[in-house]
Structure 1
Amino acid sequence: MERMLYLVAPTNDQCNSDEDGVVNQDLFVWATDASEAVKLWREYFEMDAEDTTSESKLGLDEHVRVFEVPIMPAGAPSAVVGWDDIHTYSATITERSES
């Protein structure tokens, strides 16, 4: 099964805040698809099924933004990768849809 590099990045309104502002929960994840990336992301931040308290706004049914990061071969020339060239998903641990 081929894996891709994903950037799991909830929106600011999904993240918690502290005295310094929004707590960033973006994470690069090596996974087989966007749903597995969200599952691994949740495990990394130790979000379990009961994690729907006021402290966390990311319950199991909440969709999270997932970006598929293109991997360039080692011999490729330097280049810019525009947002139009990146597949974007809205995903939970059980479902995903391309945005």
Structure 2
Amino acid sequence: MAINNVNGTGQKPQLESQRLNQQQAQQGQSANTAQQAQTAAAAPRQDSVSLTQSAQQLANVQKKASDAPVNQDKVDKLKAAIQNGSYKIDAEQLASKISKAETELFGLSKG
């Protein structure tokens, strides 16, 4: 004959069930934390790029240059003249135009 619950309080089974509930809750929290970590690791990063103002200006200039009209006939004639050696450069005219371009670009005064 087995005697169970001699004092009649029945506290031991309640304590065991509380411990079991606590363990299950802790395991559930651990599983949620692990799942969140896996989700965060699997999610792609959000990278961003920002351009400086000078880089943006350069991009605008490049776009305008690529959109500019080209006189292909003139380009072909110059190309042929350079290849066959008949293209002559007027050094004084070239120097004058470079000087004028620098003055316009940098605001330099002649002096």
Please give the TM-score of this superposition, normalised by the length of structure 1: 0.18
Structure having the higher helix fraction is 2
Answer 1 or 2: higher relative contact order, Cα 8 Å, separation at least 6. 1
Structure having the higher strand fraction is 1
Tell me which structure has the larger Cα radius of gyration: 2
Please give the TM-score of this superposition, normalised by the length of structure 2: 0.17
